[in-house]
Amino acid sequence: MSACVIGHITVKDEEKWAQYRAQVPDTLAPWGAELLFRGRLAGVLSGEHRHADTVVIRFPDVAAVDGWYQSTAYQALIPLRQQAAELELLTFSD
């Protein structure tokens, strides 16, 4: 069963966010992950949503998501990510 990570993002520092985004693909490759979507919020049809950006990344399975997130390579990026943006990362599986 495939799994997706969905990130809801509010960028605080554009320069640091660009640095972070440039480094993430190398952390995804070993886990067979694929960037499916990156975009800005166009509107809220129902309810509330506080973030302006969204990213969707597909992984082969939940174990790959966990491996990626806990990997040394990705953990090293978390301090930069925290400086660059507020975000919520969610995992979904089918």
Please give the pLDDT value at position 30: 98
**Model pLDDT for residues 40-81, shown as the tens digit of each residue:** 999 999 999 999 999 999 999 999 999 999 999 999 999 999
Per-residue pLDDT band for 93 (boundaries 50, 70, 90) equals: very high
Radius of gyration of the chain (CA): 13
> What percent of the chain shows pLDDT beyond 90?
99
Give the phi and the psi of residue 39 in degrees, each rounded to 5.
-165, 175
pTM of the predicted structure, to 2 decimals: 0.93
Which is nearest to 37 in space by CA: 20, 52, 54? 54
Per-residue pLDDT band for 8 (boundaries 50, 70, 90) equals: very high
Averaged confidence pLDDT in the chain: 97
Contact between residue 94 and residue 54 where contact means Cβ atoms under 8 Å apart: no
Range of the domain at 57: 3-93
Q: How many domains would you assign to the chain? A: 1
Please give the pLDDT value at position 64: 98
Over 44-83, what HEC string results?
A: CCCCCCCCCEEEEEEECCHHHHHHHHHCHHHHCCHHHHHH
CATH number of domain containing 14: 3.30.70.100
Please give the pLDDT value at position 20: 98
Which uninterrupted H or E stretch holds 31?
Answer: none
